[in-house]
Amino acid sequence: MRVVVVGATGNLGTSVLRSLVDEDRVESVLGLARRLPGLQVPKVEWAAADVTRGDLVPHFRGADAVVLLSWLIQPSRDLNKLWMVNVEGSLRAARAAGEAGVPALLYASSVGTYSPGPKDAAVDESWPTGGVSTSYYARQKAEVERRLDRFEREAPGVRVVRMRPGLVFKKEASQGVRRLFGGPFLPGFLARPGLINLVPEVDGLRSQVVHSYDVGEAFRLALVNGEARGAFNLAAEPVLDARQVGRILDARTFPLPAGAFRAAADLSWRLRLQPVPPGWLDLSRSVPVMDTARARNVLGWTPRYNAGDALLDILEGLRAGTGLDTPPLSPDTGGPLRIRELLTGVGRREP
């Protein structure tokens, strides 16, 4: 089996590669990325490709599956660029897979594709996928799923799988996550549990987390199961709210009005102190809690890491400056004293 992984150098991509290397039925993997990494992985060869303008069909010919992971979180101040890469680029890749005769397309969607829903009951994959209107990320994830619906009608011979994970953490992705969501002014030493004494308790803020390695395993299971198709929710227990996080970190919680939290997020974004707009808070407060029974029953997927393990893992990575030798994950990408991050305008250009 030959597999092409588009967007293979990021948090999820490197975990998918990790799982595919251990799969005997996978003989070779082509990792595609805009910027080639120094990372060497058994069975994996690398090639440079851009989903917005490159000719992807030659890369896909002869493949048994394409795993589509390419996605930009930044620059958050350039929504046109994000749309062209995330929406138009994803569908260019899907159509190229169809044109190349690839029989399976596995796409990394997200909990963010879901319309607002309950926090006190879990929903399955049939919940509406309209996204959250104030989140560009959710709007774009939802739009890709709508376009994949049309793609499936136009290319019925392609088996399409859509993974919908919650927040995806691992320590090797810590520097990439910090650059994308924390920015250059967030010191890593603050990620020490002993220094996190207070956790804000915001109404409606309950999130599901899953370890990146476990998501990589879900992709592997779906790849080798020729009958698997459609959407799969991926998350580990427990659902994390302020009290759960407080227990994990041995910290106290304190109430914080959602309006005040959102105003602070908005102001800090406008002042370029951090790179994400307040729509991310809206997304976290709005998306439903997901039921993962379908992934467990159809794929035989069981997460090895619980949500607390995944949280502690990325905190360890933030403290230690852990990364991998790929442009999205390397500690060196930000430059000395994070100067390259500062030169991006904190959300104006891609880090």
- Residue 95's Cβ-side half-sphere holds a number of Cα atoms within 13 Å equal to 13
* DSSP structure string for 24-55: TT--EEEEEESS--S---TTEEEEE--TTTS-
Q: Which residue's structure tokens are 């997901």?
A: 290
So what's the pLDDT on residue 43? 97
For the chain, how big is the Rg over CA atoms in Å?
19
Please write the tens of the pLDDT for every residue from 183-213: 999 999 889 988 999 999 999 999 999 999 9
Please write the tens of the pLDDT for every residue from 22-60: 999 999 999 999 999 999 999 999 999 999 999 999 999
Q: Which residues are registered as beta bridge partners of 240? A: 207
Please write the tens of the pLDDT for every residue from 69-99: 999 999 999 999 999 999 999 999 999 999 9
pLDDT band for 163, please (50, 70, 90 cuts).
very high
pLDDT band for 257, please (50, 70, 90 cuts).
very high
Alpha helical stretches, state H, the chain: 11-21, 57-60, 79-83, 90-99, 136-154, 174-177, 212-224, 242-249, 258-270, 279-286, 293-294, 307-320, 339-343
Q: What are phi and psi of 297, to 5 degrees?
A: -80, -40
pLDDT band for 350, please (50, 70, 90 cuts).
confident
Q: Which of 277, 281, 282, 280 is nearest to 266 (CA)?
A: 277
Model-wide pTM > 0.75: yes
- Residue 3's Cβ-side half-sphere holds a number of Cα atoms within 13 Å equal to 30
Q: To which CATH superfamily is domain 2-244+272-343 assigned?
A: NAD(P)-binding Rossmann-like Domain (3.40.50.720)
SS3 at position 210? strand
pLDDT of 299 higher than 90: yes
- Residue 340's Cβ-side half-sphere holds a number of Cα atoms within 13 Å equal to 11
pLDDT of 161 higher than 90: yes
So what's the pLDDT on residue 351? 81
